[in-house]
């Protein structure tokens, strides 16, 4: 009955605990693909990218059937979490709300299972974004609070900055100036503590350049046109200077629309229409936010329908909106 010390089973049994059917290269390849897809978000065709993301989710699903190390399973779940968020964002952009909401829910569940405040934070961000897109400002403020409560100061993607800015915007729309100022302060405080991302084009990394854009939007809402226009001009010249204009079409579109709005309010209708048309040329992606962004501008322009180009712009805008319906 005594076990001679040379008998092998113990070591063999222990050794098997460390075995995996999946190699590190596969994990690295998936991480790289997720990074690329999240980076391509702002420029790629949404339907195509959504297909790619879902194909990647499919592959991850297959891999999860294999014998894995815990760290590998965590990596796969994390990749799936970001892909789910990406599919959610792309589906909202395409007006496919059911798929978007399902994906967002998956991301939430994965975030909870992983204990990942980053994934949870961005799942809230997506939710806040839809509330803003549907002009449900009260819900946006509440959801942003929920998101901010989850994430800690050391959250690495900067989703807290984004949430605070979203809250500031929603507060501005409601005319709640003191909440707006408080949220802007929170956002600025978090921005100061946050390390800028190595890949700012990643859709789920707070790009420090977005900060001014959001601030500009808030200022515009609260009637501080001059200040907003100042920021818009600076951002536009920075984008042109660095050749990044085409890399961020939606951002550029928003800047141009801001300038158009400031121009029309000043009575410079021709210039406004020119800028607005340019914004239309570029901004043909995110229908809900586009609708909202240009709605204010359209209302202002409607006061000047005597100018022939204004009617042309309004018709073109309407056409684009209905074709996306």
How far is residue 77's CA from residue 75's CA, in Å, rounded to a whole number? 5
Interface map 33-62 toward other proteins (x if CB under 8 A): -----------------x---x--xx-xx-
Write out the DSSP string of 13-36: HHHHHT--SS-HHHHHHHHHHHHH
Nearer to other proteins, 66 or 199 (CB): 66
Question: On the CB side of 168, how many CA atoms lie within 13 Å of its CA?
Answer: 25
Question: What is the signed CA dihedral for 142, 148, 151, 153, rounded to 10 degrees?
Answer: -170
Tokens of 17: 């605990």
DSSP class of residue 43 equals T
Confirm or reject binding of residue 185 to other proteins (CB under 8 A): no
Among positions 85-114, residues that touch other proteins (CB under 8 A) are: 87, 91, 98-99, 102-103, 105-106, 109-110, 112-114
Q: Considering only CA atoms, give the Rg of the chain.
A: 23
Among 26, 46, 74, 224, binds other proteins (CB under 8 A): 74
Confirm or reject binding of residue 73 to other proteins (CB under 8 A): yes
Q: Residue 160 CB, nearest distance to other proteins (Å)?
A: 24
DSSP class of residue 69 equals -
How far is residue 180's CA from residue 129's CA, in Å, rounded to a whole number? 16
Q: Residue 192 CB, nearest distance to other proteins (Å)?
A: 31
Among positions 286-315, residues that touch other proteins (CB under 8 A) are: none
State the residues that interact with other proteins by CB under 8 A.
Answer: 1-3, 5, 9-11, 13-14, 16-18, 21, 50, 54, 57-58, 60-61, 64-71, 73-74, 77, 80, 84, 87, 91, 98-99, 102-103, 105-106, 109-110, 112-114
């Amino acid at each position: 009955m005594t076990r001679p010390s040379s008998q092998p089973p113990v070591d063999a049994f222990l050794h098997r605990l460390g075995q995996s059917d999946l190699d590190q290269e596969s994990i690295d390849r998936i991480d790289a693909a997720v990074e690329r897809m999240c980076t391509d978000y702002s420029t790629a065709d949404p339907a195509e990218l959504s297909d790619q993301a879902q194909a990647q989710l499919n592959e991850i699903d297959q891999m999860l059937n294999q014998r894995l190390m815990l760290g590998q399973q965590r990596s796969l779940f994390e990749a799936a979490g970001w892909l789910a968020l990406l599919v959610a964002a792309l589906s909202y952009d395409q007006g496919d709300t059911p798929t978007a909401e399902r994906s967002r829910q998956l991301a939430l569940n994965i975030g909870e299972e992983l204990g990942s405040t980053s994934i949870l934070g961005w799942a809230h961000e997506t939710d806040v974004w839809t509330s803003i897109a549907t002009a449900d400002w009260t819900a946006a403020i509440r959801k942003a609070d929920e998101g901010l409560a989850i994430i800690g100061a050391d959250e690495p993607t900067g989703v807290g900055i984004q949430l605070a800015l979203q809250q500031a915007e929603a507060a501005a729309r409601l005319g709640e100036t003191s909440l707006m100022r408080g949220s802007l302060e929170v956002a600025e405080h978090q921005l100061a503590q946050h390390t800028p991302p190595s890949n700012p084009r990643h859709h789920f990394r707070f790009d420090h350049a977005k900060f001014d854009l959001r601030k500009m939007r808030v200022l515009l809402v609260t009637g501080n046109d001059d200040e907003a226009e100042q920021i818009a001009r600076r951002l536009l010249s920075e984008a042109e200077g660095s050749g990044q204009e085409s890399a961020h079409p939606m951002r550029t579109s928003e800047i141009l629309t801001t300038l158009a709005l400031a121009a029309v309010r000043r009575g410079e209708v021709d210039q406004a229409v020119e800028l607005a048309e340019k914004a239309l040329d570029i901004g043909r992606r995110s229908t809900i936010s586009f609708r909202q962004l240009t709605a204010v501008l359209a209302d202002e322009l409607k006061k000047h329908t005597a100018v022939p180009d204004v009617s042309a712009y309004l018709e073109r805008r309407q056409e684009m909106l209905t074709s996306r319906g």
